Amino acid sequence: MSAALVDGDLVRGDVRIDGDTVAEVGLPPAAGGRIAAPGLVDLQVNGFAGVDLMTAEVEQMRALARALPPYGVTAFLPTLITAAAPDTERALDRLAEAFGPTQAPARPGEPGAHCLGVHLEGPYLSPRRLGTHPPEHRRDPDPEELAGWRRRADVVAVTLAPELPGALDMVTSLAADGVLVSLGHSDATASEAGLAFEAGARTVTHLFNAMSPMHHREPGLPGAALARPDVVVQLVLDGHHLAPEVVRVVWAAARGRVVLVTDATAAAGCPDGRFALGDVALDVREGAVRNRDGTLAGSALTLTAAVTNAVELGIDPAEALRAVTATPAALIGRDDVGVLRPGARADVTVFGDDLVLRETFVAGRLVG
């Protein structure tokens, strides 16, 4: 390794792993032109490698966790979209069993990515900005329902539309409990979004997609988020969700507070074909994931590909790597993932100078 991402900067030097921890950084550079970075952190994973988390059984969920490290991801948030309440409850129960305190996502010789909790993307979303979320299951904020879900599993992030009745009270309550509130699938005006940010919302789910548009006299949710230095914006860089010019504008406006996510479905890590997102049928062609109406429905993106795509658009490699390591980790209040420092768990990705992933270590064990 000729460089390492340490405290957000690429510095010359090698890294030494001792057992399951990082022992040293900044050692004399080794030959080979490699870049060591922390294990990648993905905050929006609906599915992967043929597994859909809304409908998966416990062992399938664990198989998904094992499938992520060969693509660089060593920590992730399982994400559940809008669904009927019994389906959400069943998925939460299975996630709690798969990744609870006695978490065992790996079989001998097959370490898996670490589950950081659960992200609920819905059902408290705008009827005008649902994207592929089933309209029959959308509803206004229900504090008792959400409290019940939080008792079933470790819900650490919730995406909601702030303009809905009762939404601001829910934002305030969740933020006070340390839950990350993300605004998304929303038709909010800039003023309505601003009220939610003041109430404690701290990020935006897949910026520009499934939300009010940005206009020069009504900047909507995107403009409100980009204008605030305390708000992190999340992007899906798969070549389908955002135009290159938009990505460059966002990065210029929000440098240091951009997080790359995949919004991955079961199609990620698989050839084109037919898949499902909950009870939504998906068709994947040329890497674009769409429902039967032709609406984008998540992605088939991997997080390493998102980094490559960002760099190809002119984003500095260190900034692109921060957007999939330290920045998402800090957003959900974790200082034990997304970092490369002595004493940290040895979740390490190794890239070539071309930013193609070469190896992944999970707790010091080589997995890909």
Q: What are phi and psi of 282, to 5 degrees?
A: -120, 145
The token duo for 79 is 């994400």
Indicate if 263 belongs to the active site.
Answer: yes
Q: What are phi and psi of 335, to 5 degrees?
A: -110, 10
Q: What is the crossing angle of helices 58-67 and 85-99, to 10°? A: 60
Strand 40-45 relative to strand 357-362, pairing: unpaired
Measured distance CA(118)–CA(246) in Å, rounded: 29
Name the nearest CA neighbour of 355 among 34, 32, 76: 34
- Point out the catalytic residue in the list 263, 272, 283, 335: 263
Is 122 within 8 Å of 82 (Cβ atoms)?
yes
CA angle 232, 265, 321 (to 5 degrees): 40
Is 3 within 8 Å of 12 (Cβ atoms)?
yes
Q: How many residues does the chain have?
A: 368
Please identify every residue annotated as catalytic.
263
